[in-house]
Chain A
Amino acid sequence: MSDPENITEETETKPIVEKQEDLPKFEKDQSDKITAKFGSKTEIAFVKPDRIKVNVKKEDILDVASFIRDELNYDHAESVTGVDFPADKEIEVVYHLGSYTDPQLSRQVLSLATRAPREDNPNPGNDSTILPSLRDIFYSVEFHERECFEMLGVFFEGHPDNRRLLLPEDWADLPPLRKDFAIKGR
């Protein structure tokens, strides 16, 4: 567990990993299946009752997502969230996956997280912040990925329609949810 006195001005970025002895059993089985198949390409961030988090690199995310859909029976994505970590120079995109068809998984929400490199002067669509789109695997992420693109500048490769959704048409500033976009007066 991290020590309160050791936290510096720049916020820490990786969440805490649980101790191995007292993890809940069903969730541990699920995460073990993933590590059995993919080994060191994935990292299990935490295993809590009803919630598992898996960190993947962006090159492997399509394989891991297909495995989760086919073998573990997760069938839709509840939401796609982008979180900006300027200290790490990375942007993390978290997919929350759920299942409607499998009765054992009706309480579980699996968080699949991946990171993309972040540039200080973003040019959304034309710089190195690119991630593969999961739309062919989970169709329900279509509008969520569009919103993530315009709010954080992450370009999703393979998405048929990377346009803006919520912001005004003439928005020419930084993507708003980045930490260096400051609200006026604060």
Chain B
Amino acid sequence: MTARLPPGLQLEKVDERIMTLNVGPQHPGSGHMRLIIQVDGDRIVSCDPDPGYVHRGEEKMAEYRNYITNIPHLERPVIHDSCNILYPYCLGVEELLGLEVSERAKYVRVIASELNRFTYTLYWLAIYGIFLGHSTMFMWPAGDRELAIDLLEKLTGARVTHSYFVPGGVRNDLPANFEDVCLRQINYLEKRLKTYADIFYDNPILIARTEKTGVLSREDAIRLGTTGTVLRASGVDYDVRVKEPYDVYDELDVHTNVLKNGDSYDRSKTPWLDMLESCNIIRQALEKMPKSGSVRVKLKPNPKGGNDEVYKRVESGRGSLGAYIVSRSKPEPYRVKLSVGSFRNLICMPYLLKGEKLGNMPAVYWSLNYWPVEADR
């Protein structure tokens, strides 16, 4: 016991009744994240999250690349929601460089951002199906998601990692006949989304497994600083698109879905309701969009920001995503920090899992909308 331990290991005294388990970095769920759980029989006594297995050092590398070459880098944390994670960065850089975005570009950005909400949330629902052992719930969202990916491929040229938003607008304009195709596919997608209620949300087995587990009260949700659908499922009415509208969200009619109970069932239902709301937003945006105009601003090579700092926020699939950019008159930013929804909701995990049964852990863990790559950046 007096031998020197290698770095990173620690010695602790164990109780005879309590067992320490590793919900290890490789698990049949999704993403590399470790939870060190201590169980007493079947009940979880304490939980210690151990993220960082996908920490790639995005923020350090952003200081070595200039504002434009940072774009493919900073969209990699969530590749299927890449427009939303670039959005606050582009808004911030536009304020630093003093760029004006045209009206048509703002509408195109809103459409791309809402389409990305489909691809992210449907993938999350598909993995939720696998976690609970419901394989139809994997196949249906994964298949319907391909419709939204088709639209994005027509628009941007890539299935995921679009690199579509640039400071000053978007990279290219809509292709010919895009509005009709988009409207048809969104109508079909909405019909498909409504059928999920039959197999999933009204399914008595799902209700029995997720109701009243992992209950997060309203005061706790505010005190822990949670964000996104986790917050709205606990009764707090806060959506950045409504409270601090960016681009043209102040001209569109956005309805916030707020549920009261704060358990895993509500947290799994709120993103689905948000997707149905996105269909309405896309239809309104397609109607109100100006029919012509440029979508991109010509930039000088190696643009430099002034001696300034900026903080911008956007609502993504996981919650409010903020970008804090500090610039000091060089082509590279001095510091870029992404304040992501997954990392802010991480604090709920030890808080909610204490006292839960071990069998309820997958339902609670994935209902917190935690994407490990984004939290580690």
Report the interface size for chain B: residues with CB under 8 A from the other chain: 43
Report B-chain residues with C-beta under 8 Å of the C-beta of A96. Answer: 311, 322, 324, 339
Instruction: With CB as the reference atom, state the residue of chain B lying closest to A81.
Output: B337
- Interface positions, chain B 108-152, Cβ under 8 Å from A, are none
Contact of B313 with A109 in the complex, beta carbons under 8 Å: yes
0 or 1 for each of A70-99: is its CB under 8 Å from B? (1 = yes): 000001111101011000000000101000
Report B-chain residues with C-beta under 8 Å of the C-beta of A177. Answer: 59-60
Residue B223 at the chain A interface, CB threshold 8 Å: yes
Instruction: With CB as the reference atom, state the residue of chain A lying closest to B221.
Output: A100
A11 to chain B minimum Cβ distance, whole angstroms, is 4
Contact of A11 with B329 in the complex, beta carbons under 8 Å: yes
Residue A170 at the chain B interface, CB threshold 8 Å: yes
Q: Beyond the given A81-B339, A94-B324, A165-B52, could you list 4 further A-B residue pairs with CB under 8 A, ordered by the A residue number?
A: A12-B328, A16-B308, A78-B313, A78-B320
Q: How many A-B residue pairs have CB under 8 A?
A: 108
Report B-chain residues with C-beta under 8 Å of the C-beta of A75. Answer: 222-223
Residue B191 at the chain A interface, CB threshold 8 Å: no
Known contacts A11-B330, A96-B324, A107-B244; decide if A166 and B52 are in contact (CB<8 Å). yes
Residue A122 at the chain B interface, CB threshold 8 Å: no
Report the interface size for chain A: residues with CB under 8 A from the other chain: 47
0 or 1 for each of A102-120: is its CB under 8 Å from B? (1 = yes): 0000110101000000000
Residue A140 at the chain B interface, CB threshold 8 Å: yes
Residue A23 at the chain B interface, CB threshold 8 Å: no
Residue A176 at the chain B interface, CB threshold 8 Å: yes
Residue A63 at the chain B interface, CB threshold 8 Å: no
Instruction: With CB as the reference atom, state the residue of chain B lying closest to A172.
Output: B7
Instruction: With CB as the reference atom, state the residue of chain A lying closest to B236.
Output: A100
Contact of A78 with B339 in the complex, beta carbons under 8 Å: yes
Report A-chain residues with C-beta under 8 Å of the C-beta of B59. Answer: 177
A174 to chain B minimum Cβ distance, whole angstroms, is 12
Instruction: With CB as the reference atom, state the residue of chain A lying closest to B338.
Output: A79
Instruction: With CB as the reference atom, state the residue of chain B lying closest to A103.
Output: B243
Which segment of B204-212, B276-284, B343-351 sits at the interface?
Answer: B343-351
Contact of B225 with A176 in the complex, beta carbons under 8 Å: no
CA distance A76 to B238 in the complex (A): 13
- Interface positions, chain B 238-257, Cβ under 8 Å from A, are 238, 243-244
Residue A168 at the chain B interface, CB threshold 8 Å: yes
Instruction: With CB as the reference atom, state the residue of chain A lying closest to B243.
Output: A106
- Interface positions, chain A 155-186, Cβ under 8 Å from B, are 164-170, 172, 176-177, 181, 183, 186
Report A-chain residues with C-beta under 8 Å of the C-beta of B330. Answer: 11
Contact of A106 with B329 in the complex, beta carbons under 8 Å: no
Report B-chain residues with C-beta under 8 Å of the C-beta of A181. Answer: 60
CA distance A116 to B51 in the complex (A): 27
CA distance A51 to B337 in the complex (A): 17
Residue A139 at the chain B interface, CB threshold 8 Å: yes
Partner of B64, one of A76, A77, A111, A186: A186
CA distance A59 to B316 in the complex (A): 37
A80 to chain B minimum Cβ distance, whole angstroms, is 9
B201 to chain A minimum Cβ distance, whole angstroms, is 27
Report A-chain residues with C-beta under 8 Å of the C-beta of B329. Answer: 4, 7, 11-12
Residue A101 at the chain B interface, CB threshold 8 Å: yes
B231 to chain A minimum Cβ distance, whole angstroms, is 8
A38 to chain B minimum Cβ distance, whole angstroms, is 22
Residue A143 at the chain B interface, CB threshold 8 Å: yes
Residue A2 at the chain B interface, CB threshold 8 Å: yes
Report A-chain residues with C-beta under 8 Å of the C-beta of B320. Answer: 78
Task: Report 23 cross-chain contacts, Cβ distance below 8 Å, ordered by A residue.
Answer: A2-B306, A7-B307, A11-B328, A12-B307, A15-B307, A16-B306, A53-B309, A78-B225, A78-B313, A78-B322, A101-B222, A106-B244, A139-B224, A140-B225, A141-B225, A143-B347, A164-B52, A166-B55, A169-B8, A172-B7, A176-B57, A181-B60, A186-B64
Known contacts A79-B339, A176-B60; decide if A143 and B346 are in contact (CB<8 Å). yes
Instruction: With CB as the reference atom, state the residue of chain A lying closest to B54.
Output: A166
Contact of B222 with A100 in the complex, beta carbons under 8 Å: yes
**A7, A165, A168: residue with the most chain B Cβ atoms closer than 10 Å:** A165
Residue A67 at the chain B interface, CB threshold 8 Å: no
Contact of A83 with B223 in the complex, beta carbons under 8 Å: no
**A2, A11, A141: residue with the most chain B Cβ atoms closer than 10 Å:** A11
Report A-chain residues with C-beta under 8 Å of the C-beta of B6. Answer: 170
Residue B376 at the chain A interface, CB threshold 8 Å: yes
